[in-house]
Structure 1
């Protein structure tokens, strides 16, 4: 033991709690659909003023192997003609990852799965959306960064309000 300068032994420093560890074991496209509605109508992109909407949802589940989880990010990217609201294209992408996670307390695993894991997957989703829209004959869509923490918090608020509304009905 070391001394603290006045001749008394110093207690050993407390070890910091284990740092969370995450390993991406696999990434995959679970489902993808791209509908080029503009081409089906026989129009070209120069005849429209596009407007874009992006919807994001997440799903996570524990796998049979201890410490492994599957996280699915679901993106729906729709483009419509601003002038008349007609659809130009629709891209739906379910992109997943399998993660080995250690050192995360049980009460923190849910937010970890729905915030940190999607952050790891997002650059790959962005690239797929960019390539598919470009290859589909449109200017490539470069998705803005998604704030998964805000998305998670908004979902918690939405669920709390739904639960409150449900309890006031009863």
Structure 2
């Protein structure tokens, strides 16, 4: 059996040069909950139309640290008026070391939001139920498809000679 040097793995590469990703924190960055038609809304017998919009933003938060923010704008409206409005910005701080530059956008725009989504979904569900409505359980988001759509849109804009959008926003 061969002896291994401290700090080395089986193939002789230093563990400090291996890709490392950790979640340093996750948090509600901003939350707005509105019940503008209370108390009348509780007597309405009409099902509201739900509009869910999301946006994704990535920014540097320090050396090898990135903040990934999921922003949700949700409204439930009917002919009677607005049932509720929820705006949530849910963020996470990710420390990333020794990850190749070409792998950063896919991680930050697919994997990081995928890790954050269940927690943001729970905050939204709790906020809606705290207003007296049934909990709102958002369907999972396919961040990989959103990322690929963004890449295709950038390629189309590049072919048309337009400025390309920021690669860290979906």
What's the TM-score bracket when you normalise by the shorter of the two chains? 0.7 to 0.9
Decide whether the 8 Å contact of 1:38 with 1:45 is kept in 2. no
**Equivalent-residue separation in structure 1 for 2:64 and 2:29 (angstroms):** 21
Q: How many residues align?
A: 153
- Change in Cα spacing, 1:130 to 1:106, as seen in structure 2 (3 Å) is same
* Segment of structure 1 superposing worse, 132-141 or 47-56: 47-56
**Are 2:121 and 1:123 aligned?**
no
- How many angstroms does 1:49 deviate by? 1.1
Decide whether the 8 Å contact of 1:45 with 1:138 is kept in 2. no
Alignment partner, residue 31 of structure 2 = 32
- Change in Cα spacing, 1:26 to 1:13, as seen in structure 2 (3 Å) is closer
- Change in Cα spacing, 1:20 to 1:54, as seen in structure 2 (3 Å) is farther
Deviations 1:13-70 (A, max 9, x none): 797xx76432110111111111112316x23254221221211111111222x22111
TM-score normalised over the length of structure 2: 0.78
Q: Within 5 A, what are the aligned runs for 1:12-161? A: 20-39=19-38, 42-44=40-42, 46-64=44-62, 66-81=63-78, 84=79, 86-161=81-156
Find the structure with the greater CA-based Rg: 1
**Equivalent-residue separation in structure 2 for 1:148 and 1:113 (angstroms):** 10
Structure 2: 5+ residue stretches without partners? 1-9, 163-170
- How many angstroms does 1:136 deviate by? 0.8
